Amino acid sequence: MSRYFHSASFSYALALWLATVFALLVSFVVQLEPAQWSAITVWIMFIQSPRLNYSKILWWAFGTIVGAFVAVILTVCFNQAPELLLLFLALWLAVCAGASTFVNSYRAYGAVLGGYTCAIVAMSAVENPDLIFRLAVTRVSCIFIGMTSAIVFMTIFLPKHRHWRETRHHLGEHLKATVQQASRALVPDLAQPAQFTWRHMVDRLSTLEHTLDLTTAESADSRIHAPQARSLAATLFKLLAKAQSIEVHLSRPHAVPPAVEVSALLHRARQVLAAFVAAISPDRKIGPEPAGDAIQDLRDEIASLSQNSFGQTAEEIISNQFLLDRLDELITEFDYAIRDWQGLFGPWTARRPSRLAVHQDHLTAFIYGLRIFLAMGLASAIWFITEWPSGSQMVLFIAVVCSLLSLLDHAPLLGFTFVKSAVFCAVMAFIEIFWLLPKSEGFFILALMLGLFLLPAAYAYRHPRLIGGAVVSMLIFYGLTMPSNEMTYEIATFFNNGIALLCATVCGFFAFHAIPSLTPTARQFWLLRAARQELARGETGGNPLAEQRWTSRMFDRLRLLHRAMSLDRSLDAENEMLVSLQLGLRHHRLRSLLERGSLAPEVKAAITGVLREFHEIACHPNVLALFLRSGCSRFEDALNRGERYPHHTVSALAEMREMTLLIEASTRFYLK
């Protein structure tokens, strides 16, 4: 029996039913009609994520208020021109759906909520535009009553989550895995090809923002340490990037082996990192003693070795300097990671500013917006041509359906499953309206009759396969039952509304199939194109925050690339993305060295020329590689003749030479 009955799911269903009953009761008492929007809000809040969260409440309230405000403006401006009203309503819905792709977590839902709240208010007032202010207040009040009821019953019935402890545990695991990967990168196995093996880690780190949104309402401790967690995530991204740059350099075919002193230093650093991995536990704080002294010793030795030139040829000198620079950066990030990890347990500690960035998918935003605009256009055309009395209900429903489905990447695949669920909900609504409710009176009986459907439906929709169409299917049920203080049982109205809802469903899914999502190959193409264009524009900047943004955005693109393509088909694309990441870091480092002003004039001129010509990487990478090679050759000739440069100058030459090798080995990527 326990296989089919889960106490947690039953508690969830009971809480949802009681919250719905309470929301309807309050709406009836204060005479808000139609009261079903309070019940629908309860269902949406439970389905979207049954967790009490300040960010969730804030963005839902913001979306509701903004949507109602826009609805009032549109109705006031176009109350005599319904065609223009529908046109601008469709544009607003398209903008909101597109904007949801640029943010994550509850901000995305707040964006689509601002769209379909506008549709709810505007379409409710389409026949009585002079009542727009009262209708706006009524709809917003229903939504806030539903939100409040959901929050109260979530707090009472649902178990208290310990998301902050889980998040901290996962961050500890990521820290341990990142440091372990960095230690391996310092002394790579040359018998094996260098491969990027951190897929799971990158995926989880890139979704940290949503995870932190789930924890910020849990306790004061989680709210205080959330910035520290973001700082740790940014540090781990940079630590991964620095480790990969060393691994690529050492694993390159025919690479110059490091000098004995540099090789010994790499082994010592690897031992320090490995000792930290052995000592750290994801569930407890680790003090600075195990690594603090060793880190300072490594820094001192790196600073000492950087003042000398190791090697007989320019290639050896530059290669060793590059390794020393990258190792210094890696140790610095490692030190920051330890401090950030300590700050997640004890009192707030000093942290550096962090700025995580994600990929901005403008094409997907356009597709989402175009889908809603097309669906709204079809529904509006049907309404105007047929002059259907329930046409406004069809337009309203299609606005809500398309807005909610725009949050799901797999929405076009829900067609048949959703239709089955919608038909089932319509049948249940018919049974409720014409078989059960007419034979009884009173709110208590209404609550029980709703419970006959809500309890098993809430229990069933906990299944991952059904949750995609849960909210939209429930809109059909409430849109047909329309619970109110004075129930009406007109079969003509019921079938009119039912046909309107089914037509809206057909128009919505037609729009989703007429404008399909990007294929994996297309998504790969646009992800790589975005990386190339941003790299060509030189937007990596010359400050630490710009480097953080570049690194985190590139890892987010790598995450999206992994999700779009299978492992065997994405290796070339992954390599290009990683090459682009390293080229951006080299670009950033060159600009940083240039801004310090400690370079010789001829080196400054060479770096300035490289930065100026870097835009050629998008179209003529071979020309840029030739330009870099010629710029480095005269300085390398001087080193071969025995001349010596300050270590800052050698560092700049090392960055230019590494950039040259990266481009020469990967020209085929950028010529596609």
3-state secondary structure 463-486: CCCCHHHHHHHHHHHHHHHCCCCC
3-state secondary structure 107-122: HHHHHHHHHHHHHHHH
Structural contact between residues 117 and 63, judged by C-beta atoms closer than 8 angstroms: yes
CATH classification of 163-343, choosing from 1.20.120, 1.10.10, 1.10.1200, 1.10.3470?
Answer: 1.20.120
Residue 355 zone, left/alpha/beta (φ > 0; ψ -120 to 50; rest): beta
Neighbours of 443 (CB within 10 A): 14
Determine the Cα–Cα distance for residues 13 and 456; give it in Å rounded to an integer: 7
> What are the structural domain ranges in the chain?
7-161+361-514, 163-343, 520-670
* Complete DSSP assignment for 303-319: HHHHTS--SSSHHHHHH
Structural contact between residues 662 and 669, judged by C-beta atoms closer than 8 angstroms: no
Q: Structure tokens of 389?
A: 């009395």
Structural contact between residues 660 and 629, judged by C-beta atoms closer than 8 angstroms: yes
pLDDT along the chain (672 residues), means of 10: 63 90 93 86 77 70 92 92 93 94 82 92 88 89 91 83 76 87 83 56 66 64 79 89 90 84 92 88 64 83 82 84 93 90 75 80 92 90 86 87 79 71 84 84 86 84 65 79 81 86 80 85 90 78 78 88 68 83 90 80 83 78 81 79 79 88 70 50
Cα-based distances in Å from 448 to 386, 474, 489, 643: 39, 17, 18, 91
pLDDT at 441: 79
Determine the Cα–Cα distance for residues 670 and 657; give it in Å rounded to an integer: 19
The amino acid occupying position 378 is L
Cα R_g (the chain), whole angstroms: 30
pLDDT at 1: 40
pLDDT at 329: 93
pLDDT at 24: 93
Determine the Cα–Cα distance for residues 637 and 620; give it in Å rounded to an integer: 26
pTM reported for the whole predicted model: 0.86
